[in-house]
């Protein structure tokens, strides 16, 4: 997600009427994301020069940027601007801050288990039904042997962290004596590296081994970190032996984490493994309807269906689209039409629909391919090079646009329909030209 946060926010800024298009083009679109720290909700962006930096730090632009970023990330993010080239200096202050923070060991961070991620606000559908059911069972009966560890996997943005935090939240509500620790694999790794440096192994082990429930998010980040893997293996063994519950999330099934120590992956499969699939239409719609109800927004079914039919990859994107629409709903005092929603979302909805093809687009693509000017294609010129290019263009018009010979003839300098028919036959019987047709068609459909 981190990689996309800034590029998605840019799409919003591009259509934000408060942002001057010249600023967008010359300043915002040239900024780069240095880092996004999800733990502290800090986004660092770099500008190319002092002038750009002073402008984005100004009230108006900086609040538009922060709004756009928050809308996309669905969180309250602090945006920091630096000059390009200052990344290293920035990083060293962060490391210093980080070290200072580690001197003061935190047993666990209860704030990460909030009522934001609960079973109540998790929509269940065919795509996540089993994962949800096993998460609820673990929350009701932590440490039971059949579901230990519980291993949830699936692509990004499908609700793994949400379900994992819901387990933690529910256990904290129902078993107030249980010590629940939610941590990301990265945090675990950083803490381990820090303890190697300052030799405070006891602190580290006290933190991770004296828990009743360990929730460890995105375990795939252990790949390539041999020392941490070994430490995690020992932590895992200690907790499981003591009957403590472990929940793990990952982007892959255990057997596909081939770069991880096989002792770990085989242990992961000893409990219960559940995958989450991308949300089906009904689940997407239920998620949107739930949000509309919560925010007391009413949208026509047509608009809701449009969103749910077009934003399909994952729930995070769906939430991003919803945030855009609800922001405009407020701006427009509730008067949203399908057309206005379509244009607001145009920047984020991947155009999986075919672009409207025209003879001009075909002629343009063919003339580029053969390096012949478009006017030659419709001219009376009869040298082989031009005739071949013209015939190929006619063939593609018939093939992709389903045009009649007569109509094609009219578009190509008023030629007779028999001329077009013969041209198409010639192309069909020539393997080289047919290969050109395939190449050009690929270029056109990639547009």
Q: What residue is closest to Mg ion based on CB? A: 161
From 71, 134, 161, 170, residue interacting with ligand ADP (rule: CB under 6 A): 161
Cβ pair 373, 364 in contact under 8 A: no
Residue 167 found at the interface with ligand ADP (CB under 6 A): no
CB of 254 to Mg ion, least distance (A): 17
Q: Which two tokens stand for residue 157?
A: 């943005």
CB of 23 to Mg ion, least distance (A): 34
- Which is nearer to ligand ADP, 235 or 283 (by Cβ)? 283
* Sign of torsion over alpha carbons 341, 346, 351, 353: positive
CB of 338 to ligand ADP, least distance (A): 24
DSSP state string for 11-22: HHHHH-TTS-HH
Q: Find where tokens 């089906």 sit.
A: 280
In a 3-state reduction of DSSP, which class is residue 105?
coil
- Judged by beta carbon distances under 5 to 8 A according to partner kind, the member of Mg ion, ligand ADP, none in contact with residue 61 is none
From 46, 112, 148, 319, residue interacting with ligand ADP (rule: CB under 6 A): 319
CB of 223 to ligand ADP, least distance (A): 17
- Judged by beta carbon distances under 5 to 8 A according to partner kind, the member of ligand ADP, Mg ion, none in contact with residue 316 is ligand ADP
- Residue 161 and residue 178: Cα distance in Å, rounded? 20
Stretch that binds ligand ADP, among 157-165, 259-267, 320-328, 348-356 (CB under 6 A): 157-165
Stretch that binds ligand ADP, among 107-115, 119-127, 172-180, 234-242 (CB under 6 A): 119-127
Residue 316 found at the interface with ligand ADP (CB under 6 A): yes
- Residue 187 and residue 208: Cα distance in Å, rounded? 12
In a 3-state reduction of DSSP, which class is residue 42?
strand
| Interface contacts to Mg ion, rule CB under 5 A | 161
- Which is nearer to ligand ADP, 28 or 287 (by Cβ)? 287
**Which among 68, 77, 90, 89 has a CA at the least distance from the CA of 14?**
68
In a 3-state reduction of DSSP, which class is residue 122?
coil
- Residue 414 and residue 351: Cα distance in Å, rounded? 34
Between residue 60 and residue 89, which ones bind ligand ADP under the rule CB under 6 A? Answer: 74
Between residue 253 and residue 312, which ones bind ligand ADP under the rule CB under 6 A? Answer: 287
- The CA-CA-CA angle for residues 5, 9, 12, to 5°, reads 150
- Residue 254 and residue 260: Cα distance in Å, rounded? 9
- Judged by beta carbon distances under 5 to 8 A according to partner kind, the member of ligand ADP, Mg ion, none in contact with residue 74 is ligand ADP
- Residue 123 and residue 323: Cα distance in Å, rounded? 17
Binding site for ligand ADP (CB under 6 A): 74, 117, 121-123, 128, 156-162, 287, 315-316, 319
């Amino acid at each position: 997600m981190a990689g996309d946060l800034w590029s998605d926010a840019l799409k919003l800024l591009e259509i934000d009427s408060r942002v001057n298009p010249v600023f967008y083009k010359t300043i915002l679109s040239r900024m780069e994301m240095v880092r996004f720290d999800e733990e502290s909700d800090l986004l660092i962006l770099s500008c190319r020069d002092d002038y750009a930096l002073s402008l984005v730090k100004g009230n108006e632009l900086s609040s538009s940027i922060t709004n756009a970023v928050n809308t996309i990330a669905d969180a309250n993010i602090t945006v920091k601007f630096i000059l390009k080239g200052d990344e290293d200096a920035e990083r060293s202050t962060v490391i210093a801050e980080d070290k200072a923070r580690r001197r003061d060991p935190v047993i666990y961070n209860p704030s990460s288990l909030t009522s934001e991620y609960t079973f109540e606000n998790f929509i269940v559908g065919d795509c996540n039904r089993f994962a949800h059911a096993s998460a609820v069972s673990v929350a009701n009966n932590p440490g039971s042997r059949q579901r230990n560890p519980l291993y949830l996997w699936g692509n990004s943005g499908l609700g793994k962290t949400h379900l994992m935090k819901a387990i933690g939240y529910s256990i904290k509500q129902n078993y107030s004596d249980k010590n629940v620790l939610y941590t990301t694999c990265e945090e675990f790794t950083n803490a381990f590296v820090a303890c190697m440096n300052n030799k405070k192994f006891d602190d580290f082990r006290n933190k991770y081994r004296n828990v009743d429930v360990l929730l460890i998010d995105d375990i795939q980040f252990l790949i390539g970190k041999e020392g941490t893997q070994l430490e995690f293996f020992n932590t895992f063994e200690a907790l499981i032996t003591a009957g403590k519950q472990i929940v793990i999330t990952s982007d892959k099934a255990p057997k596909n984490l081939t770069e991880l120590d096989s002792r770990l992956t085989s242990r992961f499969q000893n409990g219960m493994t559940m995958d989450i699939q991308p949300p089906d239409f009904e689940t997407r719609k239920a998620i949107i309807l739930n949000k509309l109800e919560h925010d007391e927004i009413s949208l026509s079914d047509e608009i809701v269906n449009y969103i749910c039919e077009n934003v399909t990859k994952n729930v995070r994107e769906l939430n991003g689209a919803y945030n855009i629409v609800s922001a405009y709903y407020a701006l427009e005092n509730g008067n949203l039409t399908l057309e206005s929603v379509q244009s607001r979302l145009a920047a984020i909805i991947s155009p999986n629909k075919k672009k409207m093809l025209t003879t001009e687009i075909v002629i343009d693509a063919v003339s580029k391919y053969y390096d012949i000017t478009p006017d030659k294609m419709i001219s009376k010129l009869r040298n082989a090079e031009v005739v071949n290019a013209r015939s190929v263009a006619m063939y593609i018009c018939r093939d992709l646009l389903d045009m009649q010979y007569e109509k094609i003839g009219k578009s190509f300098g008023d030629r007779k329909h028999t001329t077009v028919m013969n041209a198409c036959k010639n192309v069909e019987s020539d393997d080289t030209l047919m290969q050109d047709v395939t190449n050009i068609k690929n270029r056109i459909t990639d547009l």
